[in-house]
Each structure stands twice: as C-alpha cells, then as structure tokens.
Amino acid sequence: MNPDGKVTRFPRHDVLFEPLAIGPKTLRNRFYQVPHCSGFGTQKPLSQAALRGVKAEGGWAAVCTEYAPVSADSDSMPSVSARLWDDDDARNLALMCEAVHRYGSLAGVELHHEGMIANPRESRWPAVGPSQIANVAYPDGAAPKAMDIDDIRRVQRDWASAATSARDIGFDIVYVQGAHSALLAQFLSPSLNRRTDRYGGSLENRARLWLETLELVRKLVGDDCAIAARLAVDALGPWGATLDDGLRFVELADHLVDLWDITVGAIAGFERLDSAASRFFGEGYELDWTRQVRAVTNKPLIGVGRFTNPDTMAELVRRRDLDIIGAARPSIADPFLPKKIEEGRYEEIRECIGCNICYSRAEYGGHIGCTQNATTGEEYRRGWHPERFSRARTASKNVLVVGAGPAGLECAIVLAKRGHDRVHLIEKHADVGGCVRWISRLPGLGEWRKVLDWRLLELDRFRGNIELITGTTLEAADVLSYGAELVVLATGSRWAGNGFNGITFEGIAGADDSQNFVLTPEQVMLEGKRPPGERVIVYDCEGYFMGASLAELLQLDGYQVTIVTPHLEVAPLCNETLEGPRLRHHLHELGIEMVTTASLSSVTERGARIRDQFGQETEVAASAAVLVTQRLSCTELYNDLTGRDLQGTGIEGIYRTGDCVAPRLLADAIFDGHRLGREIDSRDPRTPLPYRREGLVADAAHARRAR
C-alpha cells in the first residue's frame, strides 16, 4: 500500500510491465495470451471477439486466436477452430482485431495447417502429409495423400494469402505455426517424413517447407506484422522434431522470426505435455526445454506452463529465461490477471487449477468453459463480464444461502458483487467447500483446492455483504422462520450407497454402504472408512477422475485394487482433459488391475460377480467394493420445503442451484451458482434467461439462393 492508502504492486514485479519490441510491433507488457481454442472460431465471431476483447481489457499485451487453418484440406471437424480461407473468414476475424485493439493490445493469428491430423469431414478433401502414413489416432481409418510439389505450392500460396488478409484486417502478429503435431512438425519429423525429394532426408530438407513458408510470409507482411513461429522444440516422439533437431531448427529459422513461441510434445497421447493437467505437472514444467531454446536464440522468447505466480514470472523475465510470459489457461481462469498484478491486487487473482475442463469443452464441447471462471465463453452470449456486475433489483432483500459448497459459495459471492449486503451463507460442516474439501485431498488433485482458496478470499473481501455461519444445520422450519426474502438451496449431492447406476438403472445386488465391505467415496474420504481385507474392487461407472483417484489412494494405502468399469477404458472422460493416457499408465505402474467393458452384478464380503460385454459372468475374489456409480442430489430440505405455505414467512422465492439440482461437473455446478446470482432478479430465476446465439438466420434472399 502506498502513503495514499492505495494498493500498488511490488516493485519486483515492474519488470513484467516493461514494453518489448517484437519486429515492427511493441508489446506494452510481458503478458501474452498464446493461441487457445474457444469453440467459437470464425463461426461465432461475436463470441470470439468478446472473449478476446475481455482479455485485452484485462491487460494481456497480445491476444491470439486459436489455430486458424489456411487451407480447406485442413478442417478438423467436429472441432471448431478459426480459419482464414476466404473473405468471409477475414470479415469475421476482423471483429476480434477491433475488440483487442480497443484496449491497446496486439492481435495475433495462429496460421496453421493440420496436415495428416486433419479430419476433413466438412471439405471431404483427403488429409495431406509429408508421406502416406496412416494415423490410427484419428478416425475413419484413412491414410493421407503424400503431398506432391503442387500440394506444397498450394499450401504455401494459401499461407501467403491468409497472412496478407490477416495483415489487412488488422492482425499484428502472424504465426507460421508448427507445434502440436501440425503439418510443419510432420515435415520436421524423421518418422513421418519419408520423402526422398528436397523436402525429406536431412534436417535442412525436412525444415525446408517451414523455412520457405516463413520467408514467404515475412516478405509479404513482415514490415507490418511480427512473425511468430510456434515450435514443439522436442516432440517427445514421432510427431515432430527431436530436441537436437528442434534446437537446430531454431538456429536455421532465427533470422526469419520475430518471436519464438515454444512448447513441448505432441497433440495427443502420452506425448501430450503441453497444457498438462496439474495432476502430473506444476507451474513452469516446460522450462527445462525453453531454457535450452534461450541458449540458441536472442529473439524474444515466449514460454508457457500454467504461470500464475507473479514472483516466478518476474524472476523468469529478469533472468531472461523468457522474455514474455505465455499463458492459455491462466488467461482463461483470470482474464484480468495482468491488471491485478499491475495494480497490486494480488489477492484477487483467480488461479487456474489445471483441471483442463476448458480444453475438454473447447475441443469436444464446442463451447469453452472453465471451472474457476464461470464467465468464460459467456462474454457475448450472456453479456457476462468477469469483473463487472450490475446492481440487482433485489439488492435490498435478505438472502439465505444454504450450503457453502462450490455452487453456494459462488452464488453468494456473485450476489454480494451485485450489491446484496445481507447474504447469510449457512454451512452444516465446520469447514466450507463441500466436495472440494475432500476432492482436493485425492492423489494429484491438490491444486483443485484453489477453487476454495479464491472463494474464501472473496468471502473475506465481501465480509460486509456476506455473513458466513458454519456448523449449523437448518431444517425446513428454520428456513421458513429465518427472515429471508430469497432462499437459495445449494445442498450438493452424494454418491449412491447401493450401487444405483446408469447401466442397469438399478442398485447392485448386495450393495449397502452400511456394511463394512461396501464403501462410497464420501465414506472413504470424509469418514475415514477403510475396506476390510486386502483386495478391493473400485467399480467406476462415472469414468472421470473419482474412480481412478480412489483406486490410486487405496493402492497407495497398501490394498490390491482392481478397477472395474463398463467403459472401453478406465477414466475415458480424462482423455478430454489430456490426463487419460498418462493416468492409465500411472495406475498400471502402481500395479492396479483394470477390467474394462464389464459391470458389477452383485457384491458380497467375499467378492463380486462381474458381467462382461457379452453377458458372461465370473466371480472375482475381493474383500470390499468401493462404488463410484452415480451421484444423487441431496434434496431432503428442498422436498420438505416444497408445497409449504410461505404466507407470513416473508419468503418470496426458493431456488436450488448446483448439484442439488443435478450432480455434474464442478465447472457446471459453479456455473449454475454464478448464473443464479446473475439472474436472481429475473422474472423466474429458476429458468435460465435465453442467451444470444450466433448463426445464419435464413432470410428471403437465402431461401431464393437455396432453390
């Protein structure tokens, strides 16, 4: 705090706010939003512009698109990306440039070609690659076309044309991107590039396509735009350069590049290290590689690795390990991270927890979302700003929020930000946080505790608005007589104790969590209940983190664990969060057995009957079963209140939020709490307000053209 009582940043962080020239452009500070998908691409230009504009407003000196293919044979349906194929794409992306420039930031476009990892279901062109090598990781069992020289020239022409229109619509930074197993990485790879012409063989030949394209783009737009290259300096396998080749490539291309944006690993599988989940990697985990790049270039260098700690970032820049702090997830979790550091508002920083739900939603769900930041992706369609909240028409009313789990906390905080100053938040346990309290104690999920940490700091910041009362259980009569005008129930959910599941739509014969040989996740984590004997079955119908994490915990406790799951593989939802291959490998290393495509028919204290996908039943010996079958909403209080006469109680509305409506992803439960807070003064807060949709609305002219 300075003598005027104003909060200021620590001088040791000043280095993060020094401008830096990148080719013909200047970054106003060292915070750079590296390319990341949103699910908006060029198809939802208003959502795209609003998402990126908010980041520019939050202080990111450069804000980039996601990957933006330059050619029609590089579509990746059903994933939605940016594109720069034609004037329509350009018009759509121009909106993003305007939004970013409005706040004095630079706009970057990640020009890209998928090559043999394209999934050209829209264009129905064949995918192309350096050689005709099939790619089992991608659907359709297809093999790519080996690019002939005409294909090479065509892709280069497309790149040149995309770069020119990018410059013309206002982009300041133009990428020639070859990270994440893209076409240019495929050419660099000695495993995938088996060509015998000038584009295959020696490193100089394998690098030729990339170098020529850089040269072309530089010649066309290099006076007006900074030229960036994104490189996985070590692909950690066949999908790109070896470390030696990667470093040598930096030397070969250095004179053509204004900005190196360095990552590690491949797009998918065990070699996917970029965007690593916090389960396996901490802040700065890519630095071992970027430091080696620093040794071979003096050009401005961006590195990534879930950077959220201002001290770490400042130290990296001061030592010139990096010149620029690249961030995808930290910018999603907190678009205002740079501004908060700049203004010394450190306690307001909402740190990314590394769960990768953003990746799952943007890549597979078509719409980005975030566990920590409920406003991500909602900037345009719901008009939500991460830092601005309108005053609620209900602000003068007393609000009672029952349940201080993730949804209840979020709702209470949003209500406070909307001007409610008499919010009572009641929690029956001594600690707040609901399921996050114990989920964050599962192996590898410690970072998830930050969901709670940030909200506790916000509770403190808004202590004048929110009164937190813990260790208090409210019955229906207590709620009715509380004196609240608005009541929010956020009572969460619990795991079924009888094995009720979505396979048989029934419980499991013999399953009863009052028995010592049947356990639920809450019993293991909250009550310390432990299985008798040594052999334990974890039955996982959910397919996300819970079954795998409990299996790991119990195996580490000394049990011999078998995971039984009806899914094709253990924890398939973790594939979307980039954890799957590494997680299964880890479980295997720990000695955990995995039985897939199988369901539990019955359990006893001696074991379980397991039914395989063909209906064959076998006995598996075990002394206990942990049931991760499905969660059920805790609706007792709601049911007790339903149908009561509210006359004379002063209560105007009773609303539910989060898992007590329907158990779901943490991100979606928090979103629900946030939504209720944002819409508490709507006509019917129970029903979400309509959101703005983007898409072509056919008019008479369209209809005529279609005839």
Ligand X SMILES: Cc1cc2nc3c(=O)[nH]c(=O)nc-3n(C[C@H](O)[C@H](O)[C@H](O)COP(=O)(O)O)c2cc1C
Nearest approach in angstroms of CB 344 to ligand X is 23
Beta carbons of 584 and 592 less than 8 angstroms apart: no
As given in the structure block, the two tokens for residue 280 are 């396996």
DSSP state for residue 177 in the 8-state scheme: E
As given in the structure block, the two tokens for residue 23 are 């080719």
The label of the residue with tokens 């029609």 reads: 72
Helix (H) or strand (E) holding 478: helix 476-480
Please state, in angstroms and as integers, the Cα–Cα distance from residue 225 to each residue in 258, 362, 449, 513, 667, following that order.
9, 28, 42, 64, 38
Stretch that binds ligand SF4, among 13-21, 325-333, 656-664, 679-687 (CB under 6 A): 325-333
DSSP state for residue 584 in the 8-state scheme: H
203 or 268, CB closer to ligand SF4? 268
Stretch that binds ligand SF4, among 67-75, 349-357, 393-401, 542-550 (CB under 6 A): 349-357
Partner touching 93 among ligand SF4, ligand X, none, CB below 5 to 8 Å by kind: none
Stretch that binds ligand SF4, among 240-248, 326-334, 338-346, 488-496 (CB under 6 A): 326-334
DSSP letters spanning 229-244:
EEEES--SSSSS--HH
371 binds ligand SF4 (CB under 6 A): yes
89 or 286, CB closer to ligand SF4? 286
Partner touching 371 among ligand X, ligand SF4, none, CB below 5 to 8 Å by kind: ligand SF4
As given in the structure block, the two tokens for residue 652 are 């105007």
Nearest approach in angstroms of CB 701 to ligand SF4 is 41
353 binds ligand SF4 (CB under 6 A): yes
Residues 399 and 423: their CA atoms lie apart, in Å, by 5
537 binds ligand SF4 (CB under 6 A): no
Helix crossing, 406-417 with 666-678: angle to 10°? Answer: 30
**Site of interaction with ligand X (CB under 6 A):** 34-37, 66-67, 110, 179-180, 230, 263, 274-275, 304-306, 327-330, 358-359, 362
Nearest approach in angstroms of CB 106 to ligand X is 16
406 preceded by a cis bond (ω within 30 of 0): no
352 binds ligand SF4 (CB under 6 A): yes
64 or 358, CB closer to ligand SF4? 358
φ, ψ dihedrals at 560, nearest 5°: -100, 110
Partner touching 75 among ligand SF4, ligand X, none, CB below 5 to 8 Å by kind: none
Partner touching 555 among ligand X, ligand SF4, none, CB below 5 to 8 Å by kind: none
276 binds ligand SF4 (CB under 6 A): no
As given in the structure block, the two tokens for residue 6 are 């104003």
Q: Which residues face 493 on adjacent strands?
A: 633
Partner touching 230 among ligand X, ligand SF4, none, CB below 5 to 8 Å by kind: ligand X
Chosen residue from 356, 491, 501, 555 binding ligand SF4 by CB under 6 A: 356
186 binds ligand SF4 (CB under 6 A): no
Residues 87 and 93: their CA atoms lie apart, in Å, by 10
Nearest to 624 by CA among 517, 524, 521, 534: 517
Beta carbons within 10 angstroms of residue 527's beta carbon: 10
Helix (H) or strand (E) holding 638: helix 636-641
Count of residues engaged in binding ligand SF4, rule: CB under 6 A: 13
329 binds ligand SF4 (CB under 6 A): yes
29 or 372, CB closer to ligand SF4? 372
207 or 332, CB closer to ligand SF4? 332
Range list of H helices, 240-284:
243-253
Partner touching 275 among ligand SF4, ligand X, none, CB below 5 to 8 Å by kind: ligand X
333 or 488, CB closer to ligand SF4? 333
78 preceded by a cis bond (ω within 30 of 0): yes
Residues lying near ligand SF4 in the complex (CB under 6 A) = 329, 332-333, 352-358, 370-372
